[in-house]
Amino acid sequence: MKNKKPLFITLISLDIALTIFLFVVSIIMLATMPSPQEKESLVVKDMITYFQKNPNVYLLVGVLPLFILLVVNIVFLIKFIKKSSEKKKVELNDLSDEEKEALRKELLKDLQK
């Protein structure tokens, strides 16, 4: 792949959108949770009431993807931190004439000790 930046931006956007959607659904579901006596007589009319009536489906569709996204985000954060903290080797050709002269003087001073 020549240019990975649009792919990363798209993946990050999808990650954020999916996380926000799952959190909003979870908050709505928990805020409108019926009592245990009302749960059996609950009529399924939308997704939220379906999740309230079937908590195992909610676990698989709502909670598990959030944990998976969390783990994936932590792994990518660790990789990014390791990659950004690595020191790059400086080539002699990359240095300016003043930097080369300062380095030469420093090396001669170290050798004279």
pLDDT in tens, the chain (113 residues): 567 888 888 989 999 999 999 999 989 988 888 887 777 777 888 888 888 888 899 999 989 999 999 999 999 999 988 888 877 776 767 778 888 888 888 888 888 87
Domain for residue 49, yes or no?
Answer: yes
Cα-based angle 42, 47, 48 (whole degrees, multiple of 5): 65
Total domain count for the chain?
1
In the chain, what is the straight-line distance between the N-terminal and C-terminal CA atoms, in Å? 51
Give the pLDDT of residue 15. Answer: 92
Q: Is residue 29 part of a domain?
A: yes
In a domain, 57, yes or no: yes
Residue 46 maps to a domain: yes
C-alpha to C-alpha distance for 62 and 56, rounded to whole angstroms: 10
**Residue 39 tokens, joined:** 């749960």
In a domain, 106, yes or no: no
Task: Tell me what pLDDT residue 66 has.
Answer: 92
Q: Pick the closest to residue 52 from 66, 64, 35 (CA basis).
A: 35
Q: Is residue 95 part of a domain?
A: no
Helix (H, G, I), strand (E, B) or coil at 7: helix
Tokens 């969390």 correspond to what residue?
70
Tell me, yes or no, whether 110 lies in a domain: no
108 found inside a domain: no
Domain range holding 73?
5-87
